[in-house]
Every structure is written in C-alpha cells, then in structure tokens.
Amino acid sequence: MTNPPGTDRGVLRTLFTDAVTGALARGGLDGCLDGAIVRARRTGGCCSAFVFDVDHFKTVNDAYGHARGDTVLRLIVERAKAVVRDADVLVRYGGDEFVLVLPETTAVEAAQVASRLVDAIGAEPFPGDPPLSVSISLGLATYPDDAADRHALIELADRRNYLAKRRGRGRAVGDDLQAGGRRRSDRLLERDAAFAAARDFLVRLDARGRGALRVAGERGAGHSRFLAEVGKLAGMRGFVVLHMGDDAVDGGADPAERVLVIADTDADLAEISRRVRRLAGPGGAGVVGLVQAVHDPVGPVPSLPLLDTVVLGPLSDSALHVWLRTTLHGEPTRELVQWLARRSSGFIARAERGLTQLADGGHLEQGGNGDWGVSGEALVRADNARRRLPAAVSSLVGRARDIARVADLLADRRLITLTGAGGIGKTRLSLAVAGAVADEFADGAVFLPLAEATTAEVVVSTAAAALEVPEGTDEPLADTVIRALSGLELLLVLDNFEHVLSAGPFVAALLAAAPGVRVLATSRQRLRLTGEQVYPVPPLPVPELDRLPTLPEETDAALAASPALALFVSRATEAVYGLTFTPDDLRAAAEVCCRLDGLPLAIELTAANCDVLSPTQILAQLNERSELPAIGPQDLPARQRTLRATIDWSFALLDAGDQELLTRLAVFAGGCSADAVAAVCPPPGKTVDTLPSRLAGLVDRNLLGARHTADGIRYTMLETIRAYAGERLAATATDEGPAQRHAAYFASFAERADHGLAGPDGATWYARVSREYLNLRAAYTWAMSERDTLTAARIVLGANRYWQKGWHIREGREWHRQVLAVDPLLPDRVRGWVMESAAFLAIKQDDQETALSLGEKSLRLGRDLGDLDLVAKALNIVGLVARQSGDMDRARACFGECVEIQEARGRRDSILAAASGNLSMIALFEGDLHTARELLLRDVELVRVLGNLRSLLLTLAGLGDVCVDLGDAATARPLLTEAVEIGRRIGDIGGEAYAVHILGRLTRLEGDPVEAYRLYTNAIRQHHGFGDRFAVLYTLSSLIDLLSTAEPALAARMLGAVEVIRDQESTPMTRRQLAVRDKMLLRIRAVLTDTELADAVEAGRAMDLDGVVAIALEVDPTVLAQPSHTRTD
C-alpha cells in the first residue's frame, strides 16, 4: 500500500502499529518516507533515514526465550522515542531491525541524533532477571546528499548498518570509507565480516563463472563451523554444494548447474585441484567455485582464480560473552569471560575445550540468579599465568613442518632455542608453536618480548610484569619470580634473547626450580645453557626455476613445492584485491624469491609493493640496485646483507614524507598510538590530517604493523625495521626534535596516568601504562642523558602509582635515586615531591629506614617552602613508617595533622582520604571499634565523591570488618557485597579477596561455618596465587579460629606454623588479632591437654606457608557443622 505524500502520520500510526513494540509497522514505511522526500524536494531541504538492529539479538531469544526478547524490543522503542522528535517516525522493519525516518534533518544533524540513540540504548542494562546489556548497530543516509529516492536511501542506510557491524558493532556509521575499498583480511576480528566476504564472493562468483575463496586462520579458529554456514548460504542461493570427501564430487556436472566445492583444512591440495578441474573442464558446470580452509596457506587455491581471502581471527571478549550466553543458556559472569579469553586467546575450539575442562573439574558454577561463573580456585590458577599470546596479524606460510618439529621437541626438552638471522621468522614461528601447544600446559603460555631489554635485571622485571608478580618485598626479584612459577605448568616464550645473554643464569635457575616450566627462546645465537636444544630456523624453500609452470593450471603444484613463492603470491594478493598471476608473473616472482634467499621478511616487504609494481618490474629494480654501492655495514653475513638491501629498496620506494615518518617512528619503543605519532612525528609543513593515510600506507607495505587495542589502533615495528630506521634517525644527528617531543609527550602521559590511576578508570589506566611502559623508559633514559632532570622527574612522579602495583618497582626506585642524585640544582619543590614519591615506594618494599629518611626530608622541605600539599603527603609517609614499626602515638599524630591541614583548606581529596583511612586502621588495630567505624563512615562518603574505586573497595571492606566485630550483620552485608562487586569490576584480585575474607567472617557470625570455610579458602587461594603473603596470614588466622572448635589439633598445628612465619617475616599480630588468638587458645585448651597442644604447635613449626595453605584447602567442611567436644578430664 502506498500513501500519497503528506499523509498524516497519526493516520499511519493508527493503521500500521506494530503489536509487539508499538512502533509503526513496515506497511507504513513507504508512504512516510516518500512524503518526507517529497517535502524535502519541494522546499529544497533534506531528510534522513536510519536502519538499525540489535547486536546479537538471536542470543537473547535463544538464552531467555522470545517473551524476554519482545520485552527488550519494546524497551528499545521506548528509549528511541525518548531521544527523537515527535515528527520523527520509528518503523519496525522486521525482527529486531528498525527504520527511523527523520524529516527535514541534515546529515550533520542526523549523525548527532544517531550518536545519542546509540548511547541511549547502551547506557544501562535493560531490567529483568538477569539484567541484559545490549547495543545497536546503525547506518544512516541523507536525501539528497546520499541518494535520490526512497529505495536508494534505505539501501544505502542498510549497507552502512552492515558496515557498522564490520567496524565493531555498537556504533553508528554514515560513510562508506570501507564499503567499496580494499578488504584487508588480516583485520577481520569477528565472523560477521568474514560472512560478508563469503556473501560478496558468491555474488562475484556468479558474475565471473569461476573463482575461489580462501579461509585462513589458526587451528581452533572455527573453520569447519564457518564452512558449514557458507555451505548453507550457498544452498539458499541455489548452488549445488559439494564437500570434499563426498562421492558426488567425483561425478560430472550439468552445464546449467552452479557448483560450490567446500574443502576443510584436512583436504589434500592435489586432490582438490584434480576434482575442481573435472567440474570446471569442458562440459562442466556453468559456475564453479571453491571455498578452501587452510592453516598454513600456500598461495592461491587450486585451479581457480582467487577472488578473496578471509582470516578467521580471534574473537573479542564481547563475542566470547555472546557465545557463552548461547552455550550455557544463561548469563556468564565477567570473571568467566575473562578466564576463557585468557585460556582460549579468543578461538572458539579452544574455548570449547576450556569450558569442558572447567565443567569436568567442578569449576563451572551456577549462581543463585542463574548466572554462570568460575570457581575461585580456577581464577587463582588463571591469575598465576595471566597469559594471552599476541594474535597473528597475517597468516604464517610454509612453516607447518617447522611448527610440528619444534612442538615435538618441546614434548621432550625443556629449553628450545630457535636461532637464525634477522627476518628469518623466529618470532612468528615461536608464536605459532606456542599457540599450538598452549593447551598442553595447565597454565598456558606467556610471551616476553625482549627486544628493548638491555640488562638481565630488565629481563627479570619484564617477566615479573608479564606474569603480574609483585615486587613488594626485599627478596631479590629473580627469586620472587622463580618462586611464583615454581608450581606452575607453563610455556615461557623469550623473544629476541640475543640482546640479553647475560640473563642466561636466571633462565637456568628458573628451569632448575620450576619443573613444570618450559622455555622457548628466539635468538640470533644459542644461549649456551645446560640442556639447551638448538633449532636453526631455515629460510623458506625457493622454487626451482627450471620447473616453473608454463600453463595457469600448473600454478598450484609450483606453489605447493615452494613456500617462498607461495608467501610472495599470498602477500601480493593481500596487497592487490583480485590480483592474478600469469606464468610470466610467476617466473619473475620466483626469481625475486631466489634473489632474496627465501627470507620471509624480505619477501613480504617486496611483495607488498605489488600494488604499484608488477613482479617483473620488481625484479628489474632489484637487479638495478644490485649494481649500486651497498648502503650500511659491509661485513654482515650474506642473509643479513640481503635483508638490508631489501629494506633499502623498500625505503627508496617511499616518498620523502613517508621516509621521514618511518625514520622518526624509530623513536618509539614497543609501539605507539596514532595520537602519539601526531604529537611526536608531525608531518613537516603539513597538517596532521595526512598522518592516517601515511600510516596506513606504511602498514600496507609491511613496514609497520597495526593491531587493535582498547584505545584504538596501535602501530608497531619489527625490530629489524626499527633498527634500520634508528640508524637513519641517528644519522640526522642535528635533529633532536623527535626524541625531545617523545620525552615531552610521555612526561605529559605520565602526569595524566597519575590522575587516571587514582580515578574510577584505574584498571583501564593500568593496562594503558603497561602498554606504554617501554616508551616511558625510553623517554626517561633520553631525558637523563640530556640532563633534562625536570622531564625525568615528571615521568617518575607520574608513574609512581603504577609502580605501587608492584610492577617494575625496583626500576622505579632506581629512577627516583638517579633523579635525586644526578642534578643538585633540582628545584627544592620538585626534589621534595620526588623524595616523597621515593619514600612511598620504599614502604612498598618494606625498606622502612629509607622511607623514614626520605619522608622526613620531604616533610622538612615542604614546611620550609610552605607547600602544604607536600607537607600533608609527607606526613602520611612518616605516619605509615611509624605505624608499621609499632609507634602508634607518632603515627596518630602524623595522620591527625595531615587531616587537620586538609580540612582547614577545605581539601576533600585523596590525601585526606588516605590519612583518615590510616587513622581508622590504627583504631581498628587497637580495638577501638567505634572510633574506627566513625572514621570509615566518613571515608566511604569521601572516596565515593573522589571516584577512586580501589580506595572505595578497601574502605567498604574495612567498614564491613568493623561492623562484623560490632555484631552489626545487617549493615555489614551490603557493604561487603558492594566491595566484592567492585573488586570484580576493576580486576583487583587482592582487594576482592580481602572483601571475600571479611564476608566469610560475617557468614560465620550468622551461623553458617561451612559457607564461611568456603569463603575463607577462596580468599586464601586468591591471595596465595597473587603472592600476597601478609594477606594469606591474615586470612589463615580467621580460618584457624574457625577450625579451633571442630578440629582443635589441626588448628593448633596451623597456629604453630603461622606464628613462626610471622616471626620470619616481621609481621607481628595487632592487639585485635592477639585478642582473637587468646580466645581461640581457650577453646583449644578445652579439648586438648597441655601436652597435646604443645606437640601440635611444635609440629606446625616445621611447615612453610605453602604447606599450611595446602592443609587448609584439604579440610572436609562438613565437620564444621558438627557439634564441638570438650575435654572431660
């Protein structure tokens, strides 16, 4: 039905209201949109249209039923109507898809409305049990700017809706920047983009008559499932779908048929080629296509022109969340999603195995509200390794045999070193091997990039940071790391070890103390350690020039015989969409591969230029350059000279602007964001608007890598390329601009990080600083070399909160020492702040003497300068040292003065919160519960305003602790529940475990000792896995108190162990803890004789902390529910 222009919208809504959602039904769309276009045409104005749908809506229906899905759609309509005008018309187009017509709305105005609409839908979860978070993907188009009629307008908006999905969902798209551009398969992150490629392939196949789609990806990426879906799609479009292995594939075909052959990864290459030729030969089918899945792609697929390639990359955490929701028919917790992401690296097959292992081990738990989570024990084990191997950004060609050989070696040997020249592919091979065998290690695999490391100490601190091993004690960090790994089953990948051969003794000690750890190293030379197995990585086999094909159908065999040639063709076809190779092209490419000695990096750099040069032209240019004087060192090994010449040639093909950009990018260490590039390497005389295209061009030529992070695209350089660019940068000795701007940028970044780490986005900032730590180190090193101590001081002050987490803390303390020592003319105010910062890190490492000295010096400077902020901070430092040494009077005076200073100035800030919190801890330690409660109540109010979630977590848990001691269970439970939720949200394992511990105390108070035991042991597992020995001892004390009634002999033995460990670690009990212990001993003496008690305590003194924890976790909790016994003698 078509309505005339100008039909009243009220009439339309009456006639065509959708019964489920209340939006206009689809039948009213044509007349409504036609009317808007007619009015725009008549007035010379415009109108816009949105097409949007709900992301992953099918999983909502599958998990919760269609009634819940209908409710979500109604609520979406309500939220949408709250955003738009009364004149705008919302139409339910079908299922979960909607169209919004916006009369008299420009493209700019439409974009603003679209942004508000997307935000409104995703602003907060939709109510229900459980609450559901959903998002929409939206495409928008405007008449007459984008389209001339209704059909074209809706079609364009629909195409942009799909583009919104390809860009990551949960967004609005009003452009076609990627709609008709070249597809880069190595950037496909979710399967919807891969399905789009398959759909487009089938359309082009009909037009071309012959063609192939290659589906690449790591093992476990879901090839079989994807091929099945492609087969269904082809079947619905009228194709005869034949799977390799079906007898029908051997038969002939009707010329009128459209045939699609599907070959999974286990199909034989030669057999595929033979069968496809039979179907496509004379008298064969009219249309013949092939979809082939590969792990180790070897160029174009057999006998057919390659029309496209897609890569099934790892899924995002959001996609895993959706997969879990569908698989479990319920909502997964954040912890379960993160556990599975770490375990699977985003690959569905690995995720399925991980989920099965969880269930089989009893670690998959269903909560009371139906959500699915992971047990505390599994979380702790996962936390020990904190693994996720870097995802490959492109396929690995020609290394299947090497992967298998190295994997076999790892089964028998504990130290494997991959050796070879730069550019041979050692890093890529190590990652492929690690990905293949990671599931065989209970604690997975961890990748340590060491290209930027300069000393053995940096290697150790890099390992500690990657494994999240805190540096919080006086124990040598190497010993701390080795102890943390001693009980794990882990593969440790050490990349670029040739820079730090001095760290060999650390690797040897680690292997000796950690029998479950195996090491896979890459190095240009062997490590020369006992038990080392060297595996020289060979170049890729090059083609035999006298056996190259003369006919197109012979191409497949040539590619199968030469991985080097296959790599060239693979990278060339990625660079040029739809590129095909004639026999002449193939011969030229083969000669190029021979000239490049089969070096993978050299081949990739060369093939990437096929968008501007043919293989024949590339060969000619390489021949010409061989006659020119060589650039760079002349005494390099032959393969290194080949690689150097290739990089020289690739560099020469760049224009002057790209050459300058690549050279300046060498100043970055560990990668950089686009914003950082814009600040540090601005194009000379041009606006930064040219940067995105220049960066993309360098990525296209394999001179830069690009990967997605939470903060957007991050650009990286292979170490070989960076070394080359660094040489060129060093040659421009007069240009200190990049290094100076780099130091200034990261000093500013450190200052922003200081604020960010203290705010509600602290977890995000920890990840951000971790990504940029190598840049911070480079910036600090340059600043100190140039005696720019102020910039160095800005960096150390800004990074302090990051070091407090326990990562690189020794390096942080050393930087502070250097800043204070190198420049006696450092302004007093800056010196005072650096002293205060250094003192706090000393406290974190229990160096009380240094902390007190620096704290008192900074306090005197603050008083002399009248800098009350510094005075207040320094008072906190001195007070902390006094409290830990037992001088409660001085501690109380320092914290009290700090509070007075801040309150007198009206400063309700983090300094006040810290001092007030420390006062409450003194009151708690001394048993003054009412004072502690009043102070903590004020602290909770303050930290809520400040938005520091970690401080809020600890304050809520502390207040809950006090309420438990006061017997106020009703107040304690919501406080502790909120604390646990915050800990899970921000990923603070230690803070969450503290709150769980206190929740256990509350549960015991409420009369449920079995549940209390479960909570205590969960907290112990988390603290122990995180390496927080003090917290383990604190929680063990509560557990021992619980056991003293039902298992008095065991409690006495554990008490003896804990007392010895406390003496060894100088952590005496507080007055409050001593009171609890005395009451516990009275209960034990009511059951045991003095001799039995003494014997049990003495037996416990022989145990270490690991032994006590093991015993604590083995208790049968059902004994706690039985009545206690009293000695009768």
Secondary structure class of 628 (helix, strand, coil) = coil
Report whether pLDDT(931) > 70. Answer: yes
Amino acid at 732: T
Residue 914 near residue 895 (C-beta atoms within 8 A): no
pLDDT at position 877, please? 94
Its CATH architecture, for the domain 185-311, is 3-Layer(aba) Sandwich (3.40)
> 1096-1115, pLDDT tens digit by residue?
888 888 888 878 888 888 88
State mean pLDDT over 597-602. 87
Task: Measure the CA dihedral 1031/1037/1043/1049, to 10°.
Answer: 120
pLDDT-derived band at 637 (thresholds 50, 70, 90) equals low
Report whether pLDDT(627) > 60. Answer: no
Question: Tokens 């912890």 belong to which residue?
Answer: 335
How is residue 682 annotated by DSSP?
A: P
Nearest to 477 by CA among 509, 515, 434: 509
Return the exposure string of 950-973: e unless at least 16 CB atoms fall within 10 Å of the residue's CB, then b. Answer: bbbbbbbbbbbbbbbbeebeebbb
Report whether pLDDT(763) > 90. Answer: no
Nearest to 348 by CA among 257, 255, 224: 224
Q: What is d(CA 67, CA 81) in angstroms, rounded to the nearest whole number?
A: 21
Higher pLDDT, 347 or 397: 397
Ranking 94-98, 640-644, 1115-1119 by mean pLDDT, the lowest is 640-644
Secondary structure class of 1091 (helix, strand, coil) = helix
Domains in the chain: boundaries: 9-173, 185-311, 317-385, 400-536, 545-652, 656-735, 1016-1129
Nearest to 882 by CA among 831, 920, 922: 922
pLDDT at position 180, please? 34
Report whether pLDDT(249) > 70. Answer: no
What proportion of the chain, given as a percentage, has pLDDT over 70? 86
Query: Does the structural domain 400-536 have CATH classification 3.30.70.20?
Result: no
Ranking 65-79, 312-326, 406-420, 623-637 by mean pLDDT, the lowest is 623-637
> 871-910, pLDDT tens digit by residue?
999 999 999 998 877 788 999 999 999 999 999 999 888 8
Identical fold, 9-173 and 317-385: no
Q: What are the DSSP calls for 823-862, one per residue?
A: -TTS-HHHHHHHHHHHHHHHHHTT-HHHHHHHHHHHHHHH
Report whether pLDDT(253) > 60. Answer: no
Q: Give all strands of the β-sheet with 445-449 in edge-to-edge order.
A: 445-449, 490-495, 517-523, 415-419, 532-536
State mean pLDDT over 188-213. 77
> DSSP strand E in 855-901: where?
none
pLDDT at position 631, please? 40
State mean pLDDT over 715-736. 82
Residue 838 near residue 829 (C-beta atoms within 8 A): no
pLDDT at position 452, please? 83
CATH of 656-735, one of 1.10.760.10, 3.40.50.2000, 1.10.10.10, 3.40.50.300: 1.10.10.10
Q: What is d(CA 1011, CA 379) in angstroms, rounded to the nearest whole number?
A: 19
pLDDT-derived band at 1028 (thresholds 50, 70, 90) equals low
> 446-494, pLDDT tens digit by residue?
999 998 888 999 999 888 888 877 665 657 889 888 988 887 888 999 9
Q: Percentage helix, strand, coil, to 5, in the chain? A: 60, 10, 30
pLDDT-derived band at 2 (thresholds 50, 70, 90) equals very low
pLDDT at position 10, please? 47
Q: Is the pTM of the predicted complex or chain greater than 0.85?
A: no
Its CATH architecture, for the domain 317-385, is Orthogonal Bundle (1.10)
Report whether pLDDT(589) > 70. Answer: yes
State mean pLDDT over 677-704. 79
> 109-158, pLDDT tens digit by residue?
888 889 889 888 987 888 887 778 888 999 999 998 888 888 889 988 98
Residue 526 near residue 554 (C-beta atoms within 8 A): no
Secondary structure class of 454 (helix, strand, coil) = coil
Report whether pLDDT(181) > 60. Answer: no
Report whether pLDDT(189) > 50. Answer: no
- Number of helices (H) and strands (E) in the chain: give both, helices first: 48, 20
Report whether pLDDT(371) > 90. Answer: no
Higher pLDDT, 202 or 313: 202
> 984-1008, pLDDT tens digit by residue?
777 677 788 899 999 999 999 999 9
Nearest to 473 by CA among 848, 140, 136, 814: 848
pLDDT at position 1103, please? 85
Report whether pLDDT(263) > 50. Answer: yes
Q: What is d(CA 683, CA 668) in angstroms, rounded to the nearest whole number?
A: 16
Report whether pLDDT(591) > 60. Answer: yes
pLDDT at position 300, please? 45
pLDDT, mean over the chain: 82
CATH of 9-173, one of 3.90.1150.10, 1.10.10.10, 3.30.70.270, 3.40.640.10: 3.30.70.270
Residue 705 near residue 393 (C-beta atoms within 8 A): yes
